[in-house]
Amino acid sequence: MAFGDYQNEIYFGGLMRGVKPTLPVDFKTLEARAQAALPPATLSYVQGGCGDEFTQDHNAEAFKSWGLVPRMMVDCTTRDLSIDLFGIKLPSPVFMAPIGVIGLCAQDGHGDIATARAAAATGVPMVASTLMNDPMEQVAAAMGDTPGFFQLYTPKNRDVAESLVARAEASGFKAIVVTLDTWVTGWRPRDLNEANFPQLRGHALANYMSDPAFRALLAKPPEEDPQAAVAQWGATFGKTLTWADLPWLRSMTKLPLILKGICHPDDARRAIDGGVDGIYCSNHGGRQANGGVAAIDMLPGVVEASGKTPVMFDSGVRSGSDVVKALALGAAAVGIGRPYAYGLALGGVAGVVHVLRSILAEADLLMAVDGYPTLTDLRAAGLVRRP
């Protein structure tokens, strides 16, 4: 079955049974609905960006500056969107980007597990954040046969870092994604105005509180003194990483190592020379630094510098057409962020599945209409930059 067949399911559901989708298929309506469903503190954390949010908004707007040129008289009755990423066969080039409070986006507080179940249902991998409401072992188990990646916010304590990575390996995660731009939190007015920092209230810290190396730093178990445990987390979180740390990061795991936050071609080349297996082009969705260039505009240079090393991408992706544009510019896989968080808030596992299927359907149908039956065809054509 083609991803675009989801469109027929919706139309025929309305025609034959009078059933309309319970959730919207477009981002604008989805976001509006989620604003009413999410608690204010969680909404602020998920929706907000850094500074006046120029970069966050520009990330999404910049996709409009790139355009596909349709090719006609091409047989696109079947499309192939499958990829091979780090030796893993995947049915589509889409993945769920890490969201540190995705656990809080579910009504029951177990959004990490719900997201993992959506991954199992769709075959769309989840990049699971270090900051989870449930331990990584439970989240990994909920993914079923769908591969998952573990995203590491590198703690200052090396024993804790190595313990988290070892647990991820043992849990069955297939790659380690190290985030580079979050050793300190960017200036986020929405959250600052409300003194809103979920982790300092004890949320999304299940991986730390269950980790033996972290617990060894505590005078009392976190169950007995949760405030002291949170304070220790604050003192442990956020190691400043430099190129001198790359050999250590590489030595921690035999899994594919991916560096997240690479936006400059020189950084991509240096990372590859240091032994990383993948580059992750991202500006954290505009949440960490304001005033920068849109991530999609930096992607071509990073792809060119990376050569045969796969480049993952996120930031500003809101639709299937955005996915196709990022793929055309050379991304090996494209991450979805806020859209699936809103789907989770509105419909749990089914809501995430609906959002992923909608994005994939749009991407599939766009390739069909524009005459690109494979990702190879799409990348060979590239995009046109609008004046």
**DSSP string spanning 28-97?**
HHHHHHHHHHS-HHHHHHHH--STTSHHHHHHHHGGGGEE-----S---SS-B--EEETTEEESSSEEEP
Does 275 appear as a known binding residue?
Answer: no
Catalytic residues: 284
**Tens of pLDDT along 116-150?**
999 999 999 999 999 999 999 999 999 999 999 99
Does 272 appear as a known binding residue?
Answer: no
Residue 380 pLDDT greater than 90, yes or no? yes
Residue 344, number of CB atoms within 10 A of its CB:
31
Q: What is the pTM of this model?
A: 0.97
Does 98 appear as a known binding residue?
Answer: yes
Does 316 appear as a known binding residue?
Answer: yes
Confidence class of residue 319 from pLDDT cuts 50, 70 and 90?
very high
Does 337 appear as a known binding residue?
Answer: yes
Q: How confident is the model at residue 172, as a pLDDT?
A: 98
CA proximity to 372, closest of 383, 387, 385 = 383
**DSSP string spanning 227-274?**
HHHHHHHHHHS-----GGGHHHHHHT-SS-EEEET--SHHHHHHHHHT
Burial of residue 303, with CB atoms counted within 10 A of its CB: 0-12 exposed, 13-18 middle, 19 or more buried:
buried
Q: String of b and e for 74-96 (b: at least 16 CB within 10 Å)?
A: eebeebebebebbeeebebbbbb
Residue 19 pLDDT greater than 90, yes or no? no
Does 46 appear as a known binding residue?
Answer: no
Confidence class of residue 63 from pLDDT cuts 50, 70 and 90?
very high
Q: How confident is the model at residue 170, as a pLDDT?
A: 98
Q: How confident is the model at residue 227, as a pLDDT?
A: 97
Q: Where are the domains of the chain?
A: 22-385
Residue 13 pLDDT greater than 90, yes or no? no
Does 335 appear as a known binding residue?
Answer: no
Copy the structure tokens of residue 137: 């072992």
Residue 16 pLDDT greater than 80, yes or no? no
Residue 14 pLDDT greater than 90, yes or no? no
The domain defined by 22-385 folds into TIM Barrel (3.20.20)
More confident residue, 19 or 174: 174
Confidence class of residue 322 from pLDDT cuts 50, 70 and 90?
very high
Q: How confident is the model at residue 66, as a pLDDT?
A: 98
Quote the DSSP letter at residue 374: B
Quote the DSSP letter at residue 128: E
Residue 25 pLDDT greater than 80, yes or no? yes
Measure Cα distances from 188 to 192, 200, 214 in Å: 6, 15, 28
CA gap 327, 323 in Å, rounded: 6
The SS3 assignment for 385 reads strand
CA gap 280, 322 in Å, rounded: 17
